[in-house]
Amino acid sequence: MSECILCKGDKKQLEDISGRFSILKLDGFMKNAACKIWPDNEAWSLLIDGKEIDYYLTKAQKEMNDGVDFSATEICDIISVLMERNISFAMWYDIFYEDLPVYKNELEVKSSCCEGIRDVSGMCEVYLLYDNE
């Protein structure tokens, strides 16, 4: 497995950029994870430009290793779009979605994501739950 993302919120908030964001229906593992994270089960996942979230995290890791600031990465932009459009989201690696740290504001979310990408072990694993409720 790789990095996973689940979202919750009004999918219509992404319509004006729907060519970039593709909404995915949940099944199997992701559906079970969604039920644990948001018991009301209104979650969904997404692809960005046809790519999974893992692509953007590893791309940011490479860019940041080359000296690019986190704020200039696509993953930072993706987080901004989701938060601006009032979309809650959870990110985790592999099967480790229980007990995700919860963040309530953009600075905390971006800081956590940046730290996960910059992990000294080189793992590039992000664990967070942004819950706007």
Residue 103: burial class (beta carbons within 10 Å; 0-12, 13-18, 19+):
middle
Domain segments of the chain as ranges: 3-130
115: nearest Cα among 55, 73, 70: 70
**pLDDT per position as a tens digit, 24-72:** 999 899 999 999 999 877 899 999 999 999 999 999 999 999 999 999 9
pTM attached to this predicted model? 0.92
Give the pLDDT confidence of 73-128 residue by residue, as tens digits.
Answer: 999 999 999 999 999 999 999 999 999 999 999 999 999 999 999 977 778 999 99
Residue that has been written with the tokens 């729907």 in this structure: 18
Which residue stretches of 1-133 are H helix?
28-37, 53-65, 74-84, 106-117
Q: What pLDDT score does 121 carry?
A: 78
Which residue from 42, 122, 109 is spatially nearest to 76, judged by alpha carbons?
A: 109
